[in-house]
Structure 1
């Protein structure tokens, strides 16, 4: 029997916003999919770039949306940043914190001394999102970084989703400090590897699968960590964005949503690659799609997997249908 996705992987590392929920709204089928993963005996980790919230508050939010979660299953970029600092700095080193009290507590938990003011003893600066960060906080960090302190950013997400829309994220504050110091931070969160590796290590994972909706953070982070990844189309990723993905942002698998984890699909059916039922040829920079009679009943998602395979091998700027069936299959993706 062909192996399913969960036969190949012993741990699933789930992104949250755009993958499991949209703010205060659960994504349909996500809770059932996560339950199924647990029932198959696979470890679950919830991985978030948000450094402002504690694992307890993240788990509480998930439970309120019908998703079983324990604080020990939550990995945040604040925790990853603390691990990065501990690995490089001697015990009891002073770290200037720009962020929430939770980030400060994480610094203290790994045997380092947090402070909020620059001084000659400051060895590093760690910066995470906080809605209370102001000019004075950035000024202290600027002085420390310009004096030679090592700078660690929990993440560099430019925006933060909210019920009102996209708001400035930690990356926007990092950009301000970068402009003032002309230095580059070491990044702990996605798309860098430390956060995902920390989450996988906490589960004792040998073959983790990263699941997310953002190519530039979730999928790129998986690539940086050397993990395989599943992209879902419930958040930021779009078919056009997938076709244009660079080498470090290309998922191994593609599904419409987390429901794919509950179906008895072989891993091969979810992989990016040539699919039966479709033929795609590139003429110039146009991908021409035609249905292949007698080669299977490939659906529109299969076609998208096939198109990604083609577009990642040759430059494709547009897609054209060569027959009615191909036109119908392209319609949901607005690629025709």
Structure 2
């Protein structure tokens, strides 16, 4: 285990949806991989943009899926959102909550007053994912924001992975309010670095590793925080997105799923790979050689990022289809 990727870092910061589980379905091998990290003595933290559940609810869900955890190991965008509110509001200020009761409870625990309707005393709006968010809730928030209330979005994920596929995420609801108000929210969760920085500090980590499935949140947040990352293909990220990724969304390693944490880091690193030759010729990435398809993707990403050429030749297309 000393030559495993998880051993090269002093903490592992896991995304949840699409990385550890899809709704009620665990990613195969996730419990064993988390257990391997713990047995090696590498602290683990669960860092999620989903603001719909309180940390103790996340712990219960992880435990049900075979990954017992402690509340202090869970860091949610709801917590990050409330940190931003508390920094900017006086104690007892009214905050209009668009989200779950657990989000409202986080607001109350911070010494602020959660409300569900707009009024003259509303100082801020905090918006997090909830399957029960309604047009009426958005309408109340719209009125408050247009009247000048501070607007904090716990996250702006457009979609939410589930066992049934991708569903509308908090970012889709945020987009509706952005259109209705012409205002940009203050974003608390990933890709802002706050969640990862807080999680790393709680683990006493100086060299943590982020594991996530979304380039625009998990990986961008890791880049913003100056943290190495493992991109997994068990959730949202696609080969096309990886090849076309800009500097702010480029991971360090690439794997099919989080079980790669027990593999050698040099086998996972995005870069030139044995068996494959990738060249940018006439605006196309041409491929020769044979080997593992994921190694090909690692090599394609490297050349695309080096040259700016992202169009795939016919062989590359066939191998990645």
Tell me, yes or no, whether TM beats 0.5.
yes
CA distance in 1, matches of 2:132, 2:296: 46
Deviation at 1:320, TM superposition (A): 4.4
1:113 paired with 2:108, answer: no
Q: For 1:7 and 1:259, how far apart are their aligned partners in 2?
A: 13
Question: For the pair shown, which has the larger CA radius of gyration, 1 or 2?
Answer: 1
1-structure distance, mates of 2:92, 2:200? 27
Task: Give the secondary structure class of the aligned counterpart of 2:306.
Answer: coil
**Deviation at residue 176 of structure 1 after TM alignment:** 1.7
Matches within 5 A, 1:149-298: 149-263=149-263, 265=264, 267-291=265-289
Q: 2:166 and 2:299 mapped to 1: Cα distance? A: 32
Gap change, CA 1:206 and 1:262, over 3 Å in 2: same
- In the other structure, the counterpart of 1:318 is 312
Rounded Cα–Cα distance in structure 1 between residues aligned with 2:231 and 2:56 = 27
Change (3 A) 1:136 1:278: closer
1:292-327 CA-to-partner distances (Å, cap 9, x unmatched) read: xxxxx9533222211110011221211344xxxxx8
- Pair 316,7 (structure 1): closer, same or farther in 2 beyond 3 Å: same
Shift of 1:250: 0.8
User: How does the TM-score come out when normalised to structure 2?
Assistant: 0.92
CA distance in 2, matches of 1:61, 1:331: 39
Q: Distance in 1 between matches of 2:86 and 2:157?
A: 23
Distance in 2 (CA, whole Å) between partners of 1:110 and 1:46 is: 21
CA contact (8 A) 2:17 2:160 kept: no
Query: What is the TM-score of this pair, normalised by structure 1?
Result: 0.88
Give the whole-Å Cα distance in 2 for the aligned partners of 1:268 and 1:171. 35
Taking the TM superposition and a 5 Å limit, the aligned residue runs for 1:33-44 are 33-44=33-44
1:245–1:113: structure 2 CA closer, same or farther, 3 Å change rule?
A: same
Contact 1:58 1:74 in 2 (8 A): yes
Give the SS at the match of 1:141: helix
* Cα shift readout 1:37-93 (whole Å, capped 9, x = no counterpart): 111111111111111111122221222221222222111111110111122223332
Name 1:294's counterpart in structure 2: none
CA contact (8 A) 1:287 1:320 kept: no
Q: CA deviation at 1:204?
A: 2.5
Aligned residues: 319
Q: Taking structure 1 as reference, are residues 90 and 166 closer, same or farther at Cα in structure 2, changes over 3 Å only?
A: same
What CA deviation, in whole Å up to 9, does each residue of 1:7-32 have, x standing for no partner?
Answer: 43211111112211222222221111
In 2: Cα distance, 1:89 partner to 1:152 partner: 12
The equivalent residue for 2:130 is 130
Taking the aligned partners of 2:92 and 2:212, their CA distance within structure 1 comes to 36
Instruction: Give the secondary structure class of the aligned counterpart of 1:192.
Output: coil
Residue 284 of structure 1 deviates from its aligned partner by 1.2
